[in-house]
Amino acid sequence: MWNEKPKLILDHRIEIFSWILVGIFIFLLLNLWSISVLQFNLYHEKSELNRIRVIPLQAPRGMITDRYGHILAQDIPSFAVILLPGSEDPEKSRKKLEVILNRKIEKPLRERYSGEIILASPISIEEVTRVEEAKKELPGVMIEAFPRRIYPPGEIVSHVIGYVGKINAEELKRYSQNQYNNEDMVGKSGIELYYEDIIRGEKGYRKIEVDAPGRIVQMLDTSPPRFRHSLTLTLDLELQQYCSELLAGKSGTIIIGNPKNGEILAMVNQPAFEPNLLVEGISREEWGKLLDNPLRPLTTRSLQALYPPGSIFKLIISLAALNQNLVEKGRTFFCPGYFDYNGQHYPCWKKSGHGRLDFEEAIAQSCNVTFYTIGLELGQDRIIDMAKRFGFGETFDIDLPGENHGFLPTSSWKRQKIGEPWYPGDTINLSIGQGYLLVTPLEIYQMIATISTNGITYRPHLLKQVNDEKGKIITQNLPKIENEVKLKPDVWQTVIRGMRKVVTEGTGKACRDLPVAVAGKTGTAQNPHGKDHSWFAGFFPYDDPQYAFMVLVENGGDGSGEAAHRGRDLVQWIFDNRENTRNEDS
Amino acid sequence: MKIVKLFPLIVLSLCIIGLLAVYSTDPLRGSGIDLKSFFWRQLFWCLSSWMVFYLVSRIDYHWFIKLEWILFLLIIVSLSAVLFFGSGDETGARRWLFSRSVQPSEFSKVGFAIFLAALLSASPEEHGSWWLLFKISVLSVLPMVLIFVEPDLGTALVIIVLWFSGLFFCGFGWKKILTVLALFGGLMPISWLVLKDYQKQRLLSFFSPQSDPLGRGYNVLQSQIAIGAGGFLGKGWLSGTQSQLRFLPAHYTDFIFASWCEQLGFIGGILILILFFWLIWTIFRVSIEASDLEGKIMATLFGSMFTFQVMVNIGMNMGVMPITGIPLPFISYGGSSLFINMVTMGIIWNIAKSGGKE
């Protein structure tokens, strides 16, 4: 047949093709096996990632209280109106919300995790009910409670407690191992920053199932955020409040604490800032104003600012001289009102002179001429050496961020930086706490505390204890001896008697008539930019010290004035309001 | 003969799987009988297509062969009409006539297969000759170009496959076939200039679906995820998150295989593969057992057409073939495609029955 041949060819080609067909289907089958069986785990994970969104819920931070339980910082529930992804046009929803709330919402719309938009935050509880009632008009709108940090005492604790703010890129990197994300609040300064790791809560999350356009299909799982630790500080809020009032309208700082264990009871810095405003987040412009304010309200003066110590440093000179046996019993000094050395004229602060006085009287009167004399006898090295033993020039590791340390000038430093040798005149200046010497107020406080304990320096601290979520104490911050200055026992006694005389008959007479015996020392820090700074530091009761304190009033004139008067009020307040001094007295 | 007798049963099984798959991906499935719902529409098309299958299977296939030039004319006229009066779809391609109710390119696949079968069976003595090669090449290029510029890349490829199958099965020597292939390969770079941007992107996305998961490769990646996440036994009937939550695009048309596999796993996928293999194998059996050249060639061309469509669609679902927009026969949602496939099945069944009689 003429058409048999093509038929045979066709059948033959079909035979060939059958093998191709089998090949194609085996190829498809192997692929199917590879994807759905061999690579199941990979694709399963990818499909879960597709549909499940985990929305972190902000963790509440621990409460911070003072030693008596007064609240210094706490989280309160705050409310935000959230628009879920894909539900409606955010601008439209925002307009509707403005009508319901009957007010304009200033803050710009902001997107957070996975397309959720914050329409308004925070809103008041009264507004929450209004939004709930109008919920039918607001599709996709949800009210979410989140913790908001408040500082009930406000300004008066601002430098110590610090404040929290939205985490920034650099902090995100620093805390990367702790799963922070860019909606979190972190401590920016003070205790909030120093104890961030303890105080932060445990984050919660909300797992939701979403579809391809990002709309919520269902809520899968919620784990509420958890609060972990609260902090009890050594601070005494009422005392802090009082100290703050003492410095009202001034620039300066007061530190008061227990010299026998290092607890800080009050640490006030003026001027201060309002931490509650910073939590909300202030505009760049306002922040700039705070930074550029010449009174520097953001500076924690007690730890960070440097001042010449003035006559308060004479205590170090005294201790060094007594320890070197430079002042034997009965040695007297004569002050004509000035001191001439190598043709230079160094005045005493009392132009008419102190006349003849013994060493304790010299401390009491803060006689410059006496200290010029023994300062030269001691020499610069031994003065600096004694200052170092008291911790000057180094930080004390107080539990606050940003602690600074003072500056102790040395002859090698002077040669390098100024290009001049150390002159005896420099030693003379150093002897009365002037010249190149700079200290922080905390260093002065620590010096006083160390003298009051006859040489034992405790680490200054603000944390008293850490409590767990049920209020149980889990860590107690026990006193830690940081250093011990070993001097002959009568050295301490002589200096302390001198300090007592400062109050009874010397420059600190402002405190003479108090119902509790105070030992102290005044200081006047020369200020090339204006009026001198006024120092007064001391401890009481004189024979069994319970409190050590330090007052610095910038531009307060000499120490016997502004600072000593504030010291008097401070001691009086403690006597009136805190029991332990009265008990000691009676 | 036994295998061939089971032919309508295989087609029925595929149609039922198709209905189940469309039902599982129908967003309106819960709302009772609703003519807007994909499932009810598909059911309607399915029932009417089976009537067509019955009718066509009773028409002697030689009648279709006699239509040859009329069919060719119809193809050219309707495809040209699409270019001038057609309505577009969301991709900007013009594929529809009478406001998106008829897709001439679907019909032209089958029409062209019949025309080619008529042409090839009319002159068996010329099989393998240069003249016939030239003739069918010219006549293939015309509809192909018309479909290509719509553009409907998938159907254009089907025309090419039919043309190539015609050469392969009608005894053209390897040299001639390779010459044509080489010529074609040489023309490919020119066609790149003609391709629309979205078509280029589709082709490019085939080569690296991971590179840009939300862009070009998104579809392929989501499809692979759907199949992979189904695992061996699947996530269960009606419970695939990839398709139910619409991460998988076109989950009731082009990517219905992935959606099916997500629900019923490797086992479900195997079921479809086996049924298609069986169907295609049977079509070639029909060709071998057909009594004359017309029936043989027609069945063969239909067989290769289905092989190509199944391979490309399932391959595309698994990310081993480019996205061409070729639906999975009987299973993807779509009336035109189902209808025309059932016409084809009717003709094949008629060939099978006539072959059996002799």
For B244-285, what is each residue's pLDDT tens digit?
777 787 778 889 999 999 999 999 999 999 999 999 999 999
* Interface contact flag, A6 B225, Cβ < 8 Å: no
CB B106 within 8 A of CB B129: no
Which residues partner with A202 through β-bridges? A226
* Minimum-distance CB partner of B224 among A13, A25, A35: A35
CA–CA separation, A132 and B113 (whole Å): 66
Contacts of A47 in chain B (CB under 8 A): 225-226, 228-229, 241-242, 247
A407: Cβ contacts below 8 Å, ≥ 6 apart: A306, A393, A436, A437, A438, A439
Nearest Cα to Cα of residue A256 among A520, A509, A483, A493: A520
* A94: closest CA of chain B, how far (Å): 28
pLDDT band (50, 70, 90) for residue B342: very high
Residue B228: its chain A contacts at CB < 8 A? 35-36, 39-40, 42-44, 46-47
Parts of chain A with a pLDDT under 50: 1-2, 582-586
Domain span including residue B159? 12-27+35-357
Strand partners, B29: none
Q: What is the DSSP letter of A167?
A: -
| Residue of A14, A19, A36, A215 for testing the chain B interface, max B β-carbons within 10 Å | A36
Res A449: pLDDT? 96
C-alpha to C-alpha distance for B143 and B106, rounded to whole angstroms = 12
**Out of A21, A28, A37, closest to residue B232 by CB:** A37
Task: Write out the two tokens for A407.
Answer: 């500056």
- Which has more confidence, B250 or B60? B60
Can you name the residues that pair with A145 across neighbouring β-strands?
A79
Decide if B287 and A14 are in contact by the 8 Å CB cutoff: yes
At A573, give phi and psi (nearest 5°).
-65, -40
Contact B231 A44 (CB under 8 A): yes
Tally of domains in chain B:
1
For the residues of A560-584, what is the DSSP string, one character each?
A: TTHHHHHHHHHHHHHHHH-HHHHHH
Residue reference for tokens 């007297």: A332
- H or E, element range at A32: helix A4-33
CA of residue A253 relative to chain centroid, distance: 15
**A17 and B314 in contact by Cβ < 8 A?**
no
Whether the pLDDT of residue B320 is over 80: the answer is yes
Radius of gyration of chain B (CA): 20
Q: Count A/B contacts: CB-CB distance under 8 Å.
A: 129
How many residues in chain A? Answer: 586
Among candidate residues A335, A525, A495, A303, the one with its CA nearest the CA of residue A433: A525
Which residues of A are less than 8 Å from B282 in CB distance? none
Which residue in B125, B168, B261 is closest to A36 by CB distance?
B261
H or E stretch covering B357: helix B335-357
**Does any CB of chain B come closer than 8 Å to the CB of residue A28?**
yes
Q: Chain B closest CA to A44's CA: distance in Å?
A: 4
The CA distance from B21 to B228, in Å, is 18
Looking at the predicted structure, is the pLDDT value of residue B358 above 80? no
Encoded tokens for B255: 């990517």
Identify which has the larger pLDDT, A320 or B25.
Answer: A320
Residue B279 has what DSSP assignment? H
Q: Is A267 exposed, middle or buried (0-12, 13-18, 19+ CB in 10 A)?
A: buried
CATH class of the A54-233 domain in this structure = alpha beta
pLDDT at A584: 41
Find the CB nearest A40 among B228, B280, B281: B228
Q: Which of residues 213-272 of A touch B (CB under 8 A)?
A: 213, 217
CA-based nearest distance B337→chain A, Å:
22
CB distance B293–A33 less than 8 Å? no
- What pLDDT does residue A291 have? 87
The answer to whether A166 and A112 have CB atoms below 8 angstroms apart is: no
Q: Where are the alpha helices (DSSP H) in A134-221?
A: 158-161, 169-174, 190-194, 196-199
Domain spans of chain A?
Answer: 54-233, 237-268+303-585
Give yes or no for a contact between A536 and A519, defined as CB atoms under 8 angstroms apart. Answer: no
- Does residue B92 have a pLDDT over 60? no
Query: Which residues on chain B are in Cβ contact (under 8 Å) with A7?
Result: 293, 296
- What is the 8-class DSSP label of residue A103? S
A212 closest CB neighbour out of B127, B245, B266: B245
Under an 8 A CB cutoff, do A10 and B265 touch? no
Tell me how far CA of residue A517 lies from CA of A416, A504, A513, in angstroms. Answer: 46, 9, 9
CB < 8 Å to A6, chain B: 124, 127, 170-171, 293
Whether B242 and A50 lie within 8 Å, measured CB to CB: yes
Separation of alpha carbons A167 and A576, rounded Å: 44
Which is nearest to A72 in space by CA: A86, A62, A58, A80? A62
Q: Which residues of B53-67 are buried (b: 16+ CB within 10 A; e: fewer)?
A: beebbeeebbebbee
Mutate to test the interface with A, among B119, B120, B225 (most CBs of A within 10 A): B225
Half-sphere exposure of A567 (CA within 13 A, CB side): 37
Mutate to test the interface with A, among B172, B255, B266 (most CBs of A within 10 A): B266
Q: What is the C-alpha to C-alpha distance for residues B352 and B53, in angstroms, rounded to an integer?
A: 13
Q: Which residues of A touch B296 (CB under 8 A)?
A: 7, 10
- Nearest-by-Cβ selection for A21 from B280, B287, B315: B280
In the 8-state DSSP scheme, what is residue A460? P
Does A13 contact chain B (CB < 8 Å)?
yes
Distance between CA atoms of A116 and A110, rounded to whole angstroms? 9
Closest-CA distance, B91 to chain A, in angstroms, reads 19
- Please give the Cα distance from A235 to A265 (Å, whole number): 4
Q: In this complex, which of B226, B227, B311 lies closest to A24 when CB atoms are compared?
A: B311
CB contact under 8 A, A32 and B300: no
Min Cα distance B67 → chain A (Å) is 22
Question: A18–B169: do the CB atoms touch at under 8 Å?
Answer: no
Residues A46, B228: C-beta atoms closer than 8 Å: yes
Task: Collect all residues with Cβ–Cβ distance below 8 Å to A429 and sequence separation of at least 6.
Answer: A435, A436
Cβ pair B245:A29 closer than 8 A: no
Question: Are B227 and A43 a contacting pair at CB < 8 A?
Answer: yes
Residue B175 exposed, middle or buried by CB count within 10 Å (0-12, 13-18, 19+): exposed
| Fold designation for A237-268+303-585 | Beta-lactamase (3.40.710)
Nearest-angstrom CA–CA distance, A451 and A443:
12
Q: Which long-range contacts (CB under 8 A, 24 or more apart) does A195-198 make?
A: A195/A231, A195/A399, A195/A463, A198/A62, A198/A228, A198/A229, A198/A231, A198/A466
Which token pair is B88?
């577009």
* Tokens 């038929």 belong to residue: A7
Contact at CB, B269 and A36, closer than 8 angstroms = yes
> Does the global pTM surpass 0.80?
no
Interface confidence, given as ipTM, is 0.90
The reply to whether residue A7 touches residue B224, judged by beta carbons under 8 angstroms, is no
The secondary structure of A391-436, three-state, reads: CCCCCCCCCCCCCCCCECCCHHHHHHHCCCCCCHHHHHHHHCCCCC
Residue B96 has pLDDT above 70, yes or no: no
Beta strand pairing status for A519-525 and A533-540?
antiparallel
Give the Cα separation of B41 and A197 in Å (integer): 62
Quick check: is B2 in a domain? no
Say whether the peptide bond before residue A139 is cis (omega within 30 degrees of 0). no
Residue B8 burial by CB count (10 A; 0-12/13-18/19+): exposed, middle or buried? Answer: middle
The predicted-structure confidence for B188-237, as pLDDT tens digits, reads as follows 677 677 666 766 665 565 555 554 445 556 788 888 999 999 899 988 88
Residue B351 belongs to what H/E stretch?
A: helix B335-357
Give CA–CA dist A188/B346, Å, rounded: 79
- Judge whether B61 and B347 are in contact, CB under 8 Å: yes
From the list A189, A199, A203, A198, the residue with the least C-alpha distance to A278 is A189
A240: left (phi over 0), alpha (psi -120 to 50) or beta: alpha
Nearest CA in chain A to B171: A9
Nearest CB neighbour to B127, from listed A6, A18, A217: A6
Residue B229 has its nearest CB partner, among A17, A24, A47, at A47
Strands (E), A58-163: 64-65, 71-83, 110-111, 117-123, 141-150
Which residue in B176, B241, B358 has the most chain A C-beta atoms within 10 A of its own C-beta, making it the best mutation to test that interface? B241
A20 CA to chain B: closest CA distance, Å?
10
Residues of A in contact with B169 (CB under 8 A): 10, 13-14, 17
Q: Closest-CA residue in chain B for A33? A: B266
Please give the residue of chain A at the shortest CA–CA distance from B309.
Answer: A24
Handedness of CA B123, B125, B131, B134 (dihedral sign): positive
A482 inside 8 A of chain B by CB: no
3-state secondary structure A248-316: CCCCEEEEEECCCCCEEEEEEEECCCCHHHHHHCCCHHHHHHHHHCCCCCCCCHHHHCCECCHHHHHHH
Virtual torsion, Cα A522, A525, A531, A534, nearest 10 deg: -30
A10 touches B: beta carbon within 8 Å: yes
Instruction: Name the token pair of A551.
Output: 């007052």
Q: How far is CA B266 from the centre of its chain?
A: 23
Task: For residues A193 and A61, give the distance between their C-alpha atoms in angstroms, rounded to a whole number.
Answer: 12
